[in-house]
Amino acid sequence: MKVRLVIYAIAILSALCFGADVSVPKGNSRNLTVDDFMPHKATTKEFNETWSYQFVFDNGTRAFVSFAQMHIPGTGRKTTTEMTFWNFKGKSYTIGRQYPPERLDAQKEKSAIVIKSGEYLMENRPGKGHHVLFTADKNGKWLLDVTFDSAEPGKSLGDGIWKIGNEKMGQYIHIPYGRVSGKIAYNEDTLTVKGYAYMDQVWQTALATDLAIRSINFSTNARQPLYAGRISMTKDGNLLGYALHSTPDGIKVVTPKELKDGESSYKGKDFPKGTLSVFWNEENTEALQFNAAKPFQKASILDKVDGWLAKKAFKIAAGGEVFFYRGRSDVNGGKKIDWCITGAKD
């Protein structure tokens, strides 16, 4: 039974509790540290943590990469890896692997996280010089080997920990924008690539798909202003998460106040059908607006699952059928924004 899309879905949804009180992180915004990047202690059976990357290459190819540790219902605790190539010479490919949790080796003295004897690697503190390696030999030969040539500084909102009822969620935007270079390959085709990338990290004490109705993450290559962030929504419409906004006085942390789909308040029940607008709590921060009605990719966790019984089991495990809507749109005067809206449908 193939589990890779279920793993990815569970990994990227932010953790929220229906109807629960939400407490924001303690403290003011701050720069991130190696301690933030290193794996956090699993405090519950369902504790999960994910490091996620979105690479937007100048040749039109995109790569979505995630490394995670999580509890998978019916399977137990696993270390997982996942990568999708979109528009790799006109085609898209997805690969996912899972391993026992001890295959993840955190090396704080080297600011490195190594999975399965070096086949998967995140090394050097996120920023300039950060290196990402993904290799696999399953249903083809896969390679992503890129390094950040530059990077805007990442920040956290206070200690980065939201409290939602009795649960907790930590969130860190390590690289809101960075230029990258390296190579990617599928089978015998190897491409030398340059482009930009976004990277964040999330941990949570409960299965995200049990707790979240909708999650939106976005990044842009527009320097002024620079938006990059992740926002999540509870079933009753509460928002949490944050974004980074570049101003003449430096990068500021902003928090979501309201979402609208066209002229209507967006409650997250369905995917947006028009222009999605994000309004912020902070003064002098213009609304982020982009057309979310035309994604370039619509993917489901069930796309790679064969058989009615298997599909039914996966829907139960994931809390519904989870979809990924990925797109690129004009934003705020013609600049481009890359976005992903994720959520489950029963």
Q: What is the mean pLDDT of each run of 10 residues along the chain (346 residues)?
A: 41 43 88 96 91 96 93 80 93 90 94 92 97 93 97 93 87 94 97 96 80 83 76 82 88 93 88 92 89 84 49 48 82 82 74
Q: Calculate ∠ Cα 172-174-177, nearest 5°.
A: 130
Give me the pLDDT at residue 215, please: 87
Closest CA to 54 of 11, 79, 84, 76: 84
Cα–Cα separations (whole angstroms), residue 221 to 39, 154, 292, 339: 28, 15, 18, 12
Give me the pLDDT at residue 268, please: 84
Alpha-carbon distance 290 to 274, whole Å? 8
Closest CA to 105 of 123, 128, 89: 123
Give me the pLDDT at residue 118, please: 86
Q: Calculate ∠ Cα 131-133-139, nearest 5°.
A: 165
Give me the pLDDT at residue 210, please: 63
* Neighbouring residues of 99: CB distance < 8 A, sequence distance ≥ 6: 78, 79, 80, 81, 115, 116
* Neighbouring residues of 61: CB distance < 8 A, sequence distance ≥ 6: 85, 86, 87, 88, 89, 184, 191, 193
Alpha-carbon distance 99 to 111, whole Å? 22
Cβ(62)–Cβ(56) under 8 Å?
yes
The answer to whether the peptide bond before residue 295 is cis (omega within 30 degrees of 0) is no
* Neighbouring residues of 109: CB distance < 8 A, sequence distance ≥ 6: none
Reduced to 3 states (helix: H, G, I; strand: E, B; else coil), residue 316 is helix
State the burial class of residue 270 (Cβ atoms within 10 Å of its Cβ: 0-12, 13-18, 19+).
Answer: exposed
Give me the pLDDT at residue 32, please: 96
Alpha-carbon distance 183 to 190, whole Å? 7
Give me the pLDDT at residue 336, please: 87
Closest CA to 83 of 131, 37, 133: 133
Cβ(340)–Cβ(324) under 8 Å?
yes
**Pseudo-torsion of CA 264, 270, 274, 277, nearest 10°?**
60
Give me the pLDDT at residue 208, please: 67
